[in-house]
């Protein structure tokens, strides 16, 4: 069985992190940096792009943007960017947000026809006095800033949507284990890409600064205009450079209700480890409605200012990817239900 404590022990020894003196004391704190973590198995490829920058003293903000652009451009990923499953009316509508070490943040909601919503979110942060642009306004802003309008509905996603339309059952399916959409039995069966799995990415750079990014096409076949947790600062993503950062995946409505990522960071502020901070947030969801929680998936992923990290989810099956100077690995998150 995987022994996380043992693994962490050995990874710290081999790591390239730094020891920093705690101000006003003679003690030193180990800081595991730079490091990047992200949700799901496909986080591995995204981390690799982020690592390109982080390993060369790049900024965490640039790293998370570059990282999440990988699944955004991947037509085989049906829950992020290009190739994302559409809403029930056939529109691919994208949600994304980004946050840096100075609490600067930007977000786009329900953005259509732009392959990299994360870069639009960053521009909202950097070029406007606002934090969120939605729908057509977000599209106009993107086009005015040189983004190209593209059709994001791939033939494969369109086929899945048309199959779904036959029954039009509005029943968001949770990502319990790997689900593959089967046209034959019109459902998500084990063994393939999940029907919804956002990428949330958190990075700590060599300068010791944290940033995060989160991007998704949201729940498959959602109502047109539905926005999940992913582009909502505090829900799908939160960064506090003094404490740590968190991100989430799963049924966004449940994350919004508890302002999940903010809650995880506040739990770390109170002294909990990243894993325990995530668990506490999951506990909040589960205890609110234990019966409902049996049919829900939500996963949280967190990193502290010292580069330690952890995750927790409701149902088995949530994985996350880690890249640092000492490891490149995918972990399975612990879950509330086994
Ligand atoms: C949403 N949280 O739109 C996103 C979807 C997701 O794993 O993360 N799925 O609610």
The architecture (CATH level 2) of 32-335 comes to 4-Layer Sandwich (3.60)
d(CA 118, CA 97): 6
**Running DSSP on this structure, what letter comes out for residue 164?**
H
DSSP string, 17-38: -EEEEPTTSS-EEEE--SEEEE
15 alpha carbon – ligand 1 mean position (Å): 33
Q: Is the CB of 87 under 6 A from ligand 1?
A: no
User: From atom 5 of ligand 1, which residue's Cα is the shortest distance away?
Assistant: 218
Q: Which two tokens stand for residue 140?
A: 């106009």
Ligand 1 atom with minimal separation from the 197 CA: 7
Is the Cα dihedral 256, 69, 301, 219 positive or negative? positive
Pocket test for ligand 1, best of 216, 248, 281 (most atoms within 8 A of CB): 216
Q: Is the CB of 229 under 6 A from ligand 1?
A: yes
- Whether pTM > 0.85 for this model: the answer is yes
198 in active site:
yes
Ligand 1 atom with minimal separation from the 200 CA: 8
Residues 6+ apart with CB under 8 A from 270: none
The active-site residue out of 93, 198, 215, 249 is 198
| pLDDT tens, residue by residue, 310-322 | 999 999 989 999 9
pLDDT of residue 315: 92
Pocket test for ligand 1, best of 219, 223, 224, 237 (most atoms within 8 A of CB): 219
| Ranges for all domains in the chain classified under CATH 3.60.20.30 | 32-335
335 alpha carbon – ligand 1 mean position (Å): 17
DSSP string, 180-211: EEETTTTEEEESS--S---EEEEEE-TTS-EE
Nearest to 176 by CA among 333, 337, 331, 315: 315
| pLDDT tens, residue by residue, 170-220 | 665 555 444 444 444 444 444 333 445 799 999 999 999 999 999 999 988
169 alpha carbon – ligand 1 mean position (Å): 18
Per run of 10 residues, the mean pLDDT along the chain (length 338 residues) is: 40 56 77 95 96 98 98 89 91 97 98 98 98 98 98 93 83 51 43 62 97 95 95 98 97 96 98 98 96 92 97 94 95 95
């Amino acid at each position: 069985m995987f022994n996380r404590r043992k693994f962490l022990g050995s990874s710290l020894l081999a790591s390239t992190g730094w020891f920093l003196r705690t101000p006003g004391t003679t003690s030193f704190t180990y800081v595991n940096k730079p490091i990047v973590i992200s949700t799901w198995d496909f986080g591995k490829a995204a981390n690799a792009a982020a690592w390109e920058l982080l390993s060369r003293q790049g900024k965490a903000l640039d790293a998370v943007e570059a990282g999440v652009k990988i699944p955004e451009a991947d037509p085989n990923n049906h829950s992020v960017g290009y190739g994302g499953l559409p809403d029930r009316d056939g529109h691919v509508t994208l949600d994304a947000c980004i946050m840096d070490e100075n609490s600067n943040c930007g977000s786009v909601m329900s953005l259509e026809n732009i392959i990299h919503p994360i870069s639009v979110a960053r521009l909202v942060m950097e070029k406007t006095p606002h934090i969120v642009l939605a729908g057509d306004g977000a599209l106009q802003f993107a086009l005015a800033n040189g983004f190209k309008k593209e059709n994001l509905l791939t033939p494969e996603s369109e086929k899945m949507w048309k199959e779904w339309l036959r029954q039009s059952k509005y029943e968001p399916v949770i990502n319990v284990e790997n689900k593959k959409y089967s046209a034959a039995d019109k459902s998500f069966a084990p063994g393939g890409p999940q029907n919804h799995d956002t990428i949330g990415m958190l990075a700590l750079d060599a300068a010791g600064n944290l940033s995060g990014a989160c991007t998704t096409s949201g729940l498959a076949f959602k109502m047109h205009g539905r926005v999940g947790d992913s582009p909502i600062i505090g829900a799908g993503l939160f960064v506090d450079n003094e404490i740590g950062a968190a991100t989430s995946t799963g049924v966004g409505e449940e994350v919004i209700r508890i302002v999940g990522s903010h809650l995880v960071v506040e739990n770390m502020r109170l002294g909990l480890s990243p894993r325990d901070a995530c668990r506490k947030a999951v506990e909040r969801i589960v205890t609110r409605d234990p019966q409902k929680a049996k049919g829900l998936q939500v996963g949280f992923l967190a990193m502290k200012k010292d580069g330690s990290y952890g995750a927790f989810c409701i149902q088995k099956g949530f994985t996350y990817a880690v890249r640092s100077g000492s490891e490149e690995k995918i972990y399975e998150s612990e879950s509330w239900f086994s």
